[in-house]
Amino acid sequence: MNQPVIAVTDLAKSYGEVTALAGISLSVTRGAVLAVLGHNGAGKTTLIDILSTRVRPSAGTARVCGYDVVQRGRAVRRRIGVTGQFAAVDDALSGRGNLVLIARLLGAKPRQAQARAAELIASFGLEDAADRPAGTYSGGMRRRLDLAAGLVGAPQVLFLDEPTTGLDPVSRSGLWAVVEGLAARGTTVVLTTQYLEEADRLADHVVVLGLGHITVSGTPSQLKARLGNRTATLTFGTELALRRAVDALARLGLAAGRTGLVLSVPLSGPGDIPVLVRALDAAGAPLRDLTVTEPTLDDVYLSLHRTAVAS
């Protein structure tokens, strides 16, 4: 029942001397969002290009919707949508014209093509600009049109290569909402991104590519948990309270970093907070404020990068 929609086994791609993918394996289930992260040249676009049948692998296999990307390219293409950093939008045509043209190329009758274009224009909030040339669109509108173009054929799988690069925060979060809606309705999404916040927000699963290998893979929570701990930030009203707190924390075996009247304490588990609060209370060290911060994917990424540089 829960057959993977994307199944990749030992996939490799070389361009002459350059190894873009060195043999990677992964799978993605229906309605899941996979985020592919990695530095420039890590192989992200090559992976998307192979899965969307634009590039042939040198070795290994990849199946999309059950079809081999090399042997059944047409069957794969009929089931996928692709949007990219280099949008295939015709600037001279209107937004509507672009969508109608794509629908017609996919075999829709003129009426159906018009209806599909109108539907997408409405769901991407492009009504006001629908009938002017796409060349006059802002970056955010262009991205929305590009994404709409990738959805004309109601694909089962959508590939997004850096979908929000260069967008302002409002356009970015609008696009995130669209992607979330698609995934909730069962579309499987593979996106590459440079933004860890984007992966954290959208992805069920993250793979980090480095020099053509998967260097780390897991849910955003698993990746953050691997890195370690939440931190409690404790703010005190007086020097006396802070000194009492340092002593109380030492008795609990917790080391604290100090900045002014603020202590940062790495936590090891969810039970730490009540223990901490009771100990401070008992020590006569009243808290003025307490916040708990989770590690971010940025922390994971930077830590991986440091490890890679060190080795």
Ligand X SMILES: Nc1ncnc2c1ncn2[C@@H]1O[C@H](COP(=O)(O)OP(=O)(O)OP(=O)(O)O)[C@@H](O)[C@H]1O
Amino acid in the structure at residue 267: L
Q: Which residues of 279-311 are buried (b: 16+ CB within 10 A; e: fewer)?
A: bbeebebebeeeeeeebebeebbebbeeeeeee
**Which residue's entry shows tokens 């340092």?**
246
In the complex, the residues that contact ligand X under the rule CB under 6 A are 15, 18, 20, 38, 40-46
In angstroms, rounded to a whole number, what is the distance separating the alpha carbons of residues 272 and 279? 11
Q: How far is the CB of 40 from ligand X (least distance, A)?
A: 3
Which CB sits closer to ligand X, 124 or 301? 301
Q: Give the whole-angstrom CA distance, residue 168 versus residue 171.
A: 5
Nearer to ligand X, 44 or 224 (CB): 44
CA angle 213, 218, 220 (to 5 degrees): 120
Q: Is 261 exposed, middle or buried (0-12, 13-18, 19+ CB in 10 A)?
A: middle
- For the bound state, the minimum distance from the C-beta of residue 15 to ligand X, rounded and expressed in Å, comes to 3
How far is residue 108 from each of residues 104, 111, 114, 116, measured CA to CA in Å?
5, 8, 9, 9
Closer of 41 and 295 to ligand X (Cβ): 41
Amino acid (1-letter code) at residue 298:
D
Residue type for position 97: G
Shortest Å, Cβ 301 to ligand X: 14
Nearer to ligand X, 20 or 232 (CB): 20
Question: Looking at beta carbons only, is 211 or 283 nearer to ligand X?
Answer: 211
Q: How is residue 83 written in tokens?
A: 């949007």
CB of 14 to ligand X, least distance (A): 9
CB of 194 to ligand X, least distance (A): 7
Nearer to ligand X, 78 or 305 (CB): 305
Q: Which is nearer to ligand X, 43 or 150 (CB)?
A: 43
DSSP 3-state of 205: strand
Residue 158 to residue 283: CA distance in whole angstroms: 57
Look at strands 188-192 and 157-161 and give their pairing.
parallel
Minimum CB distance to ligand X smaller for 44 or for 116: 44
CB of 82 to ligand X, least distance (A): 14
In the complex, the smallest distance separating the C-beta of residue 116 from ligand X, rounded to whole angstroms, is 31
What lies within 8 Å, CB to CB, of 76 at 6+ separation is 52, 53, 64, 65, 67, 69
Please report how close the Cβ of residue 305 comes to ligand X at its closest, in angstroms.
14
